[in-house]
Chains A and B, each alone.
Chain A
């Protein structure tokens, strides 16, 4: 079973920040938080990952709470092309093993 819980769907206005929450209350000390997204009819795409510090890259920012039981993915200026299903996944470090996926959050960016 997936180790994360996410809202089923969210809307966001184009140009605004999209904040996607994820709960992972059973996360262990050596598990990273990963975010992927899947645009309709495409394969999943990696966005970002982190362990305990906040992370930022050209796509998004990841904010992880101090107790690591939840995180938020932030798309700072959402565009219509950001409409996708967003998956939050936890996985052990030093591992090339499988990703265990939940159902994700369907994010719809509205003009």
Chain B
């Protein structure tokens, strides 16, 4: 079946603008994660959804970042008043949500560049 998809693959914006990044998880996966990755570093956790609700948003760096998952499937990461430091690859992952150790499946990421 289809894997995790993310759109757009690349986004270039200007400082101060608003952006939305979309994630389509694997069908039936109830758990969804957002990470961001700067060059040369491992991914950094942002937020985790279980179904429609954010179970853990402790990784969001500030209130300019917000994410939603209104129907428990597609998720949108929203960044207001973008800053140059927001430039990174934003990764989305999903997992089955079942109890127990299970793997996360990652999308290809959205490369965000803030000029």
- Chain A contact residues, CB within 8 Å of chain B: 2, 32, 34, 42-46, 49, 51, 87, 91, 93-94, 96-104
Contact = CB atoms under 8 A, between A and B. Distances in A.
A91 B95 CA distance: 14
Interface stretch (B11-19, B39-47, B69-77): B39-47
A35 B61 CA distance: 26
B68 interface: no
Given A43-B4, A43-B91, A43-B109, A98 B45 contact: yes
A45 B106 contact: yes
B31 A96 contact: yes
B48 A99 contact: no
B2 interface: no
Interface of B: 4, 31, 33, 35, 40-45, 48, 50, 55-56, 59, 91, 93, 95, 97, 99-109
Describe A's contact surface by its main secondary structure: loop
Contact of B45 (A42, A45, A49, A100): A100
Given A45-B106, A96-B55, 13 more contacts: A2-B42, A34-B101, A43-B91, A43-B108, A44-B91, A46-B104, A46-B105, A94-B101, A96-B97, A96-B102, A101-B35, A101-B43, A103-B40
A46 B35 CA distance: 15
A102 B40 CA distance: 10
Nearest to B91: A43
Nearest to B98: A96
Contacts of B103: 34, 46, 49
Identify which of B33, B48, B101, B109 gathers the most chain A CB atoms within 10 Å of its CB: B101
A51 to B, nearest CB: 8
Contact of B48 (A2, A51, A96, A104): A96
Contact of B59 (A91, A93, A98, A104): A98
A43 B42 CA distance: 11
A2 B42 CA distance: 10
Identify which of B42, B55, B99, B109 gathers the most chain A CB atoms within 10 Å of its CB: B42
